[in-house]
Amino acid sequence: MRWDIFCKVIDNHGDLGVCWRLACQLAAQGDGVRLWVDDGAALEWMAPVGLAGVEVVDWRAPAAVVEAAAALAPDVLIEAFGCDPAPELIARFAEAASEGRPARPWINLEYLSAEPYVERLHGLPSPVFRGPGEGLSKRFFYPGFTTATGGLLREPDLTAQQEAFDRAAWLVARGIEWQGERLVSLFCYEPPALADLLAQLAAGPTPTRLLVTPGRAAQAVQAITGSRRGMERLPGGLGALSISYLHHLAQPDFDHLLWACDLNFVRGEDSFVRAIWAGAPMVWQIYPQDDDAHHIKLAAFLDWLGAPASLRHGHTIWNGFEAGPMPLLDRETLAEWRANAQSARDRLLQQNDLVTQLRSLISQKS
């Protein structure tokens, strides 16, 4: 099959990360994919060598749109997160869909949520009444956490990869001089509780190494510590915390980072899902929305997770829903969080992955 996936970059780690993983899994199963992106700069480090079967196309380039509009239309069109593909390409898709063959699937891939409406809307049609796609019908595809949703992206061999992972070797290869201390990854925006977290880790009894991703997370930490060196102790004689600033990681190595750590702070959607699959304790900084809809979205996930009280409280503080210190990240707390994370992961492994469910929906509705 030939797929067109359209992605408009808002948060390049999340939107583009999800679409690239989806494209790669489809290509790995033998299909051809064109990934249309309005800003693919992050792929230079997210996927530096690309992947056979995936063609990245800049949809801002008029010549690329004209060429595609004159060529064969895709068998499936994926509109990721309501991004409105170019009208010329919709017109070509509609023309192909009207040539007497079964309807070509047009999928509206939505954002991940555990809210109840996801189960109600997943798979429903959305008729197109005007514009170049008039007469066609989109299908809502909602990723989710239950069998009544579209599931989560997951490679077929993910569990085997994790079982074969060598944490010590991976850290050495990244130039991280690990001495057996607790490892914590940090991929975040600018959480108001960050200073408190750093102080807690620095003053605690457990030696901890914080592995900080580049960009906003590194800038936020550096603003607090006042240092830009790769390894630095916090000022004030608080010496239990060491900080390592990482370079940009390709997607497989970002997964390895999550597998290597004893606690992961993640943000957005793509890293959130990858942290779930890691099965380690996790704190999620959800993408903020102006109408505070992210409060409801986070609460729905924590309800599905069956999160213990300390983990709920940690998410509330980390996301700035209320002021106060982060929960004490002692051995007992993290053990409870780990058991909760692994239970959730085991439940999800019993469900079909997103690509399997996407193919099933297409075959049923075509």
**Predicted local distance difference test score (pLDDT) of residue 290:** 79
191 and 331 both lie in a single domain: yes
**Predicted local distance difference test score (pLDDT) of residue 102:** 66
**Predicted local distance difference test score (pLDDT) of residue 227:** 54
- Kindly name the residue from 75, 255, 269, 353 that is annotated as catalytic: 269
Provide the edge-to-edge strand list for the sheet that holds 54-58: 54-58, 32-37, 2-7, 76-80, 106-109, 137-141, 125-127
114 and 219 both lie in a single domain: no
86 and 46 both lie in a single domain: yes
342 and 361 both lie in a single domain: no
Q: What is the CATH number of the domain that holds 274?
A: 3.40.50.2000
21 and 34 both lie in a single domain: yes
**Predicted local distance difference test score (pLDDT) of residue 229:** 47
**How many domains does one find in the chain?**
2
The sign one gets for the Cα dihedral 290, 291, 297, 303 is: positive
Catalytic residue list contains 38: no
Q: What is the CATH number of the domain that holds 119?
A: 3.40.50
174 and 190 both lie in a single domain: yes
> What is the Rg, in whole angstroms, of the alpha carbon atoms belonging to the chain?
22
* Owning domain of residue 123: 2-151+351-365
Overall pTM > 0.85: yes
- Kindly name the residue from 4, 15, 79, 255 that is annotated as catalytic: 15
**Predicted local distance difference test score (pLDDT) of residue 14:** 79
**Predicted local distance difference test score (pLDDT) of residue 291:** 82
272 and 131 both lie in a single domain: no
Per DSSP, helices labelled H in the chain are 17-28, 43-46, 62-70, 87-97, 117-121, 158-164, 167-173, 194-203, 216-225, 251-260, 270-278, 293-305, 309-318, 331-349, 354-365
272 and 246 both lie in a single domain: yes
pLDDT per residue as tens, the chain (366 positions): 999 999 998 865 778 999 999 999 999 999 999 999 999 999 999 999 999 999 999 999 999 999 999 999 999 999 999 888 999 999 999 888 776 566 789 999 999 999 999 999 999 999 999 999 888 999 999 999 999 999 999 999 999 999 999 999 999 999 998 999 999 999 999 999 999 999 999 989 999 999 999 999 999 999 988 854 433 445 444 579 999 999 999 999 999 999 999 999 999 899 999 999 999 999 999 988 778 888 999 999 999 999 999 999 999 999 999 999 999 999 999 999 999 999 999 999 999 999 999 999 998 865
Catalytic residue list contains 269: yes
